[in-house]
Copies of this chain bind each other. A is one copy, B any other.
Amino acid sequence: MTTAAKKRKRMTIARFAGFCGGVAMAVKGAEKLLSENEVYCIGDIIHNSFVIESLKKKGLKTVSSVEEIPPHSHMIIRAHGLPLEEISSLTKKGCVVHDFTCPILKKIHKDIIQLKRKGHEIAIIGNPRHAEVKAFVSRAGEKVSVISKALDADALPYARCRAIICQSTISGDLFVSLAAKALGKSAQTLVIDTICSDAKKRRKEAVALAKKSKMVIIVGDSKSSNTMTLSVIVGKHCAVALISSADEVKKNKIRYPLAIVSGASSPRELVLDIARKVC
């Protein structure tokens, strides 16, 4: 390629592209277990079909509920965490539970339990169908509320003392706007920004790159909440192509200068594969 052509095809790969720490730990842990045992997981271990396929080949069995796991099996709690009731059912079944819940989410679990003990009613801003939020809800007591839209905030019952936290992958703007809606519904409201610091770093870098690019490729899966939030945020600044495998590159009309970023569940190798296809 000539220098002029290279200049035309200017491309930057984000520093924070590839697995986040929590995902890396879960995938590495699963691989180690699979070398010795048959292992079950409720739901996709991470939201990336590339990785899921590879682990499936190594023997990982993905099921959708506790009932599908045979007694005394080895099972993985994926990075999103699991509701307490499900962990308890698995233990009762004699399963060997390997807990790969992301440490950042584990810290939030602890905080939720402590906030509940201190007498707070807990409200979680996020998607009630997301595994992470279900795990939060199970630890938050009977008076928990999930707020996914303004109407949910309007419908909150009045509380003397409420703590508001959020799904770790939602956008900061959505968190603040929904928390603001809920403020008038309690005499004392503790609003804790539980958005993942890794996600914040990725977003900050992605926005900086988007401002200097005509297009940003976001490597990730549409099932992944952090990837979709990244996509919305980046989309405010330039064109976005959401790509989950190197094969999908050819479907997209690539524009330069280009930047490549990734969601937290996309391996760095996939990001580099895609970069090779577009440079």
Please report A residues at the B interface, Cβ cutoff 8 Å: 172, 176, 179-181, 183-184, 186-193
CB-based nearest B residue for A197? B187
Q: List, in ascending order, chain B residues with CB within 8 A of A188's CB.
A: 190-193
6 additional A-B residue pairs with CB within 8 Å, beyond A176-B183, A179-B180, A191-B191: A172-B184, A179-B183, A183-B183, A187-B192, A187-B193, A188-B190
Residues from chain B with Cβ under 8 Å of A192 in the complex: 187-189
15 A–B pairs (Cβ distance < 8 Å), ordered by A: A172-B184, A176-B180, A176-B184, A179-B180, A180-B181, A180-B183, A183-B191, A186-B193, A188-B190, A188-B192, A188-B193, A189-B190, A189-B192, A190-B191, A191-B191
Closest 5 CB pairs of A and B: A180-B180, A176-B184, A189-B191, A187-B193, A176-B183
Q: How far is the CB of A39 from chain B (nearest CB, A)?
A: 36
Bound together, the chains give a CA A190 to CA B191 distance in angstroms of: 6
Instruction: Determine the distance from Cα of A184 to Cα of B188 in the docked complex, in whole angstroms.
Output: 17
CA distance A62 to B172 in the complex (A): 51
Kindly state the separation between the CA atoms of A46 and B180 in the bound complex, as whole angstroms. Answer: 35
- The smallest C-beta distance from A248 to any residue of chain B, in angstroms, reads 35
Question: Which of chain B's residues has its CB closest to A193's CB?
Answer: B187
Q: From residue A170, how far is it (CB to closest CB) to chain B in Å? A: 13
Question: What residues on B are CB-neighbors of A180 within 8 Å?
Answer: 176, 179-181, 183
Chain B residues, CB < 8 A from A189? 190-192
Give every chain B residue within 8 A of A191 (Cβ-Cβ). Answer: 183, 188-191
* A193: chain B residues within 8 A (beta carbon): 186-188
CA distance A184 to B175 in the complex (A): 9
Q: Is the CB of B190 within 8 A of A190?
A: yes
Tell me the complex Cα distance, A193–B158, Å.
13
**Residues from chain B with Cβ under 8 Å of A176 in the complex:** 180, 183-184
Docked CA distance A111–B241 (Å): 51
Report the bound CA distance from A183 to B189 in whole Å: 11
| Complex Cα spacing A186 to B192, Å | 9
Q: Which of A172, A184, A186, A193 has the most CB of B within 10 A?
A: A184
Contacts of A179 in B (CB 8 A): 180, 183
In the complex, the chain B residue whose C-beta lies closest to that of A183 is: B176
A179 to chain B, nearest CB (A): 6
Q: What separation, in Å, do the CA atoms of A230 and B270 have in the docked complex?
A: 63
- A188–B192 Cα gap in the complex (Å)? 4
Instruction: List the B residue with the shortest CB-CB distance to A188.
Output: B192
A190 closest partner in B (C-beta): B190
A186 to B164, CA, bound (A): 14
Chain B nearest CB from A184 CB (Å) reads: 4
